[in-house]
Every structure is written in C-alpha cells, then in structure tokens.
Amino acid sequence: MAIRPGARIPLHNETAFPHGVFATGDVSPVESFVDGKKTGRQETDPQNGLLVWSVAVLDGDPELNAKAKSFAVKISAPHQPVLPDASIPGLPIIPIQFGGLTVTPYVDSASKRLAYSYRATEIHPAPIPGQAAHNAKATKEG
C-alpha cells in the first residue's frame, strides 16, 4: 500500500525526538478557519472528531538550527490536555513525551522545502535527559 499525500504516519516519540522534546508553552485550543477566516470555534480533527489543541515545543537535537528546533504539535483530545508537573528547576521548559504520535510530511509553500506536521493524542512526562545517570552517580558516591 502506498502512502497517500496528507497521510498521518505513526511513529514512536523516541524515533521522532531521540534527544527529547520539551514543552515551551501551555496547551491551547486551535481555532477553526474557513476560507482563511476565523470561525470563533475550536478546530476538530477530521479523522476522529475530537477537539484540536496545540503545544509549542523545542526539539532537543543539538544539530538542528534554531528555526527547525521550535514548532507546535497538535493534540486531538476530548478535553484540554494538561502538561505534566515535571519542569526542570530554573528553566522554562518541561520534558514531555507524546502518545499516539504521527507525522505528515508536506512541502511548505513559502519555502518550497519539505516540512513536517506532528500530531498526537496524549502528553506524558519524560525523564530529564542525563538525570538518571546523575542520580545513579550520586547514589553510588553517597
């Protein structure tokens, strides 16, 4: 079976974000548009009828340029998802993982380059990168 244009391709969070992904803002509703105009209603996912929410994220991949690191992930859910209470002390980011993650490749009409649209159905807390190794070292030394 061929992959159709606009198809949502399922993938694991670790495959998409091997260096981690971090929420940089709150989860907010996505407003619906018709013919380029706001409708005043929240967007619904055409595949499952659920409400669509969005969260701004930062990809932890050190090789990505600044523009490619920051983007939004849409979440289809019946109620507003809540970010985990797992912030990194002193930093305005929250390590997260997505459940039900899909990616849709497309050609960005402005830049004429390949781009990706990410969608998910769940948000979960993620381990803080390096924290497990730090805790193990502290336990061993202590």
Whether residue 139 has pLDDT greater than 70: no
Question: pTM for the full model?
Answer: 0.84
Per-residue CA distances from 131 to 38, 50, 126 (Å): 43, 35, 11
Report the pLDDT averaged over residues 6-29. 94
**Confidence bin at 141 (pLDDT 50/70/90):** low
CB 99 within 8 A of CB 122: yes
DSSP state of 6: T
For residue 122, what pLDDT is reported?
Answer: 96
Residue 29 is encoded by which pair of tokens? 């509703």
Tens digits of per-residue pLDDT, 48-84? 999 999 999 999 999 999 888 999 999 999 999 999 9
Does 78 or 141 have the greater pLDDT score?
78
Whether residue 27 has pLDDT greater than 50: yes
Whether residue 124 has pLDDT greater than 60: yes
**Confidence bin at 131 (pLDDT 50/70/90):** low
Distance from C-alpha of 38 to C-alpha of 21, rounded to nearest angstrom: 30
Distance from C-alpha of 91 to C-alpha of 22, rounded to nearest angstrom: 11
Tens digits of per-residue pLDDT, 75-104? 999 999 999 987 777 888 999 999 999 999
